[in-house]
């Protein structure tokens, strides 16, 4: 069946990879990388396990934990390589400051829409500043986790996106750089596209939609 709807993540798909942005921030602020990894590993396991305590990542993404409180909580766990406290205020803005748009992926959305394919942004927000001035050009619908009180990989947020698009799951593809999320989408009958490389993803979406997207 030809895909008629594209549901797409933002950070790491429409932007340069998360690891690059975080890596630049770690270097710029001389963060103790081992300490950072310990915290993130713990918080991400709790956020995706589904049966443990609610992680600060979970709370940040679904909007139940204010970004400023997340920044304070994270800053308390981090140190620079010389043992200094990390500044909490503006931490998330600084962490993602190196995000850059990936123009070939933006072009996918423009060409897909021009061919009649419906598009939806589905993003787990970390208090990010989105290019909202481009939303009308790129998306038919927008779902940002903290604004709807849901987060990936919760099935409810995928169903919400499908309802907004007005399409059945089997006629939609979901593109994300986190495989846990694409697996969750696939369990609902959505075609999952785990994004690791722009050219590979674009080729896969051309196969699914039957549209030239380059």
pLDDT for the residue numbered 102: 97
Q: What is the pTM of this model?
A: 0.93
Higher pLDDT, 175 or 42: 175
**Mean confidence (pLDDT) of the chain:** 94
DSSP state of 3: -
Q: What is the pLDDT of residues 136-151, one digit of tens each?
A: 999 999 999 999 999 9
Q: How far, in Å, are 12, 73, 148, 198, 207 from residue 195 at the CA level? A: 8, 30, 24, 7, 15
Q: In this predicted model, what pLDDT tens digit does every residue of 96-155 receive, in sequence order?
A: 999 999 999 999 999 999 999 999 999 999 988 899 999 999 999 999 999 999 999 999
Q: What is the DSSP string of 28-95?
A: HHTB-HHHHHHHHHHHHHHHHHSSSPPPHHHHHHHTSS-HHHHHHHHHHH-BBTTSPBPP-TTHHHHH
- What's the pLDDT at 22? 95
pLDDT tier at 48 (50, 70, 90 boundaries)?
Answer: confident
**Confidence bin at 45 (pLDDT 50/70/90):** confident
């Amino acid at each position: 069946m030809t895909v008629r709807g594209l549901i797409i993540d933002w950070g790491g798909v429409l932007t340069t990879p998360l690891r690059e942005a975080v890596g630049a921030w770690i270097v710029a602020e001389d963060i103790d990388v081992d300490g950072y990894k310990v915290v993130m590993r713990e918080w991400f396991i709790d956020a995706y396990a589904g049966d443990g305590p609610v992680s600060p990542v979970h709370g940040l993404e679904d909007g139940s934990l204010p970004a400023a409180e997340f920044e304070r909580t994270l800053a308390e766990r981090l140190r620079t390589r010389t043992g200094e406290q990390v500044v909490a205020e503006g931490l998330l803005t600084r962490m993602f400051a190196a995000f850059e748009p990936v123009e070939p992926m933006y072009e996918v959305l423009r060409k897909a829409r021009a061919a009649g394919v419906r598009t939806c942004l589905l993003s787990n927000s970390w208090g990010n500043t989105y290019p909202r001035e481009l939303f009308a050009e790129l998306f038919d619908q927008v779902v940002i986790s903290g604004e709807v009180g849901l987060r990936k990989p919760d099935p409810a947020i995928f169903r919400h996106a499908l309802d907004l698009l007005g399409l059945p799951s089997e006629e939609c593809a979901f593109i994300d750089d986190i495989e846990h999320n694409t697996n969750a989408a696939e369990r609902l009958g959505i075609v999952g596209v785990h994004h690791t490389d722009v050219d590979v993803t674009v080729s896969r979406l051309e196969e699914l939609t039957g549209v030239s997207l380059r």
